[in-house]
Amino acid sequence: MRLAKPQLVERTGRVIALALLAAALAGCQGIAGIQPVSQVRVIDVSPDAPALDIYPGPPQSTPAALYNVGFGTVSSYISVAAGASTQAATIAGTQQQLATVRGNFLTGSRYTVLAGNISASLQMTVLKDQSYPAPTGQVALRFLDQATRAGAVDIYLVPPGSAAARVAPIDTGLSYSSNTGYINIPSGTYSIVVLPAGAAPSSAASPLYTGSRMSYPSGSARTILLIDQQPATPSGLQVITADDYAAAN
């Protein structure tokens, strides 16, 4: 029997409504199935440890996330499942575990897993990185002292045409494992100068480190690490920089 036109329209409308509802439910299931993630990178600052493989869990049951990470390496950020988890470091190419650390990685946040200290006492530390811009006209800098041999130091940021003696130190008395936290300073071009703690810049004391000029753009955030100089010297150090947040041009 042929349906009257109003009945046909009504039934057709019901079919379309049911189809739309099914599609919506499928979409909701897809969204619900997306696993929340964090962004994690690894920085190896151990002066004498062998190259490392990094595992986001027990090495015996979890594939490595990063392979052959060596001294001074700053890895790219990689995605890991959000939540509490253990990161493990092994000698590259082996299952010989050197250190572990447990961290709670929040959804959408960025973290650094730092592998530091000498190999006999290798330590892993989880640091939360700044993943948002510094205030307009400023740059956020975080200094980490991971130099095992340099002793306590003072840090200066020297603009072009000036000298350390003419500027105040950005921080003083940093010793091994010190973390300044993020410090907002005017964006611009600076050279990093590191002196033994308490030494006057105009004195005969030679800087432990004098860097080349670097540009620090407005809105960016960076981590600056003091690490041991290679090949090893009694008190020498070098500096590496990691981009935490890159401001849009």
CATH number, domain containing residue 95: 2.60.40
Residue 96 lies in a domain: yes
Residue 77 lies in a domain: yes
Per residue in 147-161, pLDDT (tens digit) is 999 999 999 999 999
Residue 10 lies in a domain: no
Boundary-marking domain end, from 107, 129, 151: 129
Residues 246 and 171 in one domain: yes
Residues 105 and 169 in one domain: no
* Section 40-49 average pLDDT: 96
Q: What is the pLDDT of residue 194?
A: 96
In this structure, what token pair is assigned to residue 135?
A: 């205030």
pLDDT exceeds 50 at position 182: yes
Q: What is the pLDDT of residue 21?
A: 35
Per residue in 109-157, pLDDT (tens digit) is 999 999 999 999 999 999 999 999 999 999 999 999 999 999 999 999 9
Residues 96 and 209 in one domain: no
Residue 122 lies in a domain: yes
Q: What is the pLDDT of residue 26?
A: 38
Task: Find, among 184, 165, 187, 180, the residue nearest to 226 by Cα.
Answer: 180
The total of structural domains in the chain comes to 2
Residues 192-226 as b/e (b if ≥16 CB within 10 A, e otherwise) read bbbbbbebebeeeeebbbebeeeebeebbbbbbbb
The percentage of residues in the chain with a pLDDT greater than 90, rounded to a whole number, is 73
| Structural domain boundaries enclosing 216 | 132-249
Q: What is the pLDDT of residue 62?
A: 86
* Section 208-220 average pLDDT: 96
Residue 60 lies in a domain: yes
Residues 182 and 245 in one domain: yes
Residues 125 and 198 in one domain: no
Mean pLDDT of the chain: 86
Residues 169 and 117 in one domain: no
Residues 210 and 235 in one domain: yes
Q: What is the pTM of this model?
A: 0.83
